[in-house]
Amino acid sequence: MSSDRPKLRSLLFVPGNKVEWLAKAEAAGADAAVLDLEDAVPESGKAAARERVAEAVANASGTMAIFVRINPLDRWAAAEDLRAVARPGLAGVLLPKTRGPEDVVLADRMLTWCEREHGMPEGRVALVPLLESAAALRGAYEIGRAAPRVAYLGAVTGKGGDVERAVGYRWSPSGTETLELRSRVLLDVRAAGVPCPVAGLWTAIGDLDGLRAFAEQNRSLGYEGMLAIHPSHVPVINEVFSPGPEELDRYARLVAAVEAAQARGAGAIVFEGEMVDEAMAARARAALRDHAPPR
């Protein structure tokens, strides 16, 4: 099931007590909305927000995927959150404050019970463990392998967040202080076989140039999407994590050139000044498949 997860370029946080903002997320073009029951909702409003989020999940329609960030597993609220929201219409669950593989195993088991209760295929709901401590970041490989439903896992290094506090770096717009961290976590996630890794966050709402630079850096590393906190960020993120027409045209020409050479019995060839072979063609085919225009 995990390998069948759709690629998501943009996952936009929406407060769990503001479910009416889902319309704004969809209008912005977000591939997914993350209804937040953790940090975005005060303690006194969590029960009411849970009911509203459950209703929004049950009524979900359209192409935008719906995720929910539940409360940490060290509280009963997490079990109550899962029981309320894990039903048809839910694409995935973000698991905050993940301590290690044991948290993933427990969340996986609870989600399986919920799926059985609602007659859903087991493993349908994706699980996104959030790596917010030094121990979790160091254990990204084991966390990624802890359950087949784990997807969209990556390093989230927003300014002033849990990761900055846990690791102790000083955040900068260039991202140089987290470049190695994001790279290592991505390698662990890829080695664990986790599909569609995503990064984040960019907290400066009005700095779209900075957002674009950070998103391009993440894409260059190998991430396939980003978490976002404001609708204005979604178009930039979607553009960065989508190949443009020129890039797709080049992929198509490359595939055609390699296949023509293979028909002649050749392997590696010179294509537009570069040496290419079947490995490059396979990469190009994957990009064309993932980003084919709708018919």
Going through 119-248 in order, the beta strands assigned E by DSSP cover: 126-129, 198-199, 225-228
DSSP code at position 19 = G
Over range 283-295, report the average pLDDT: 76
| C-alpha span between 84 and 55 (Å, rounded) | 9
| C-alpha span between 294 and 80 (Å, rounded) | 39
> Smallest Cα–Cα separation from 153: which of 107, 199, 184, 108?
199
pTM for the structure as a whole: 0.89
Q: What is the pLDDT of residue 243?
A: 86
User: Tens digits of per-residue pLDDT, 33-63?
Assistant: 999 999 888 888 899 999 999 999 999 888 8
- Mind listing the domains of the chain with CATH numbers? 2-240 (3.20.20.60), 245-290 (no CATH)
pLDDT tops 80 at residue 2: no
User: Tens digits of per-residue pLDDT, 222-265?
Assistant: 999 999 999 999 999 999 999 888 888 999 999 999 999 999 99
| C-alpha span between 79 and 167 (Å, rounded) | 29
Contact by Cβ (8 Å): 100, 136? yes
Over range 77-104, report the average pLDDT: 95
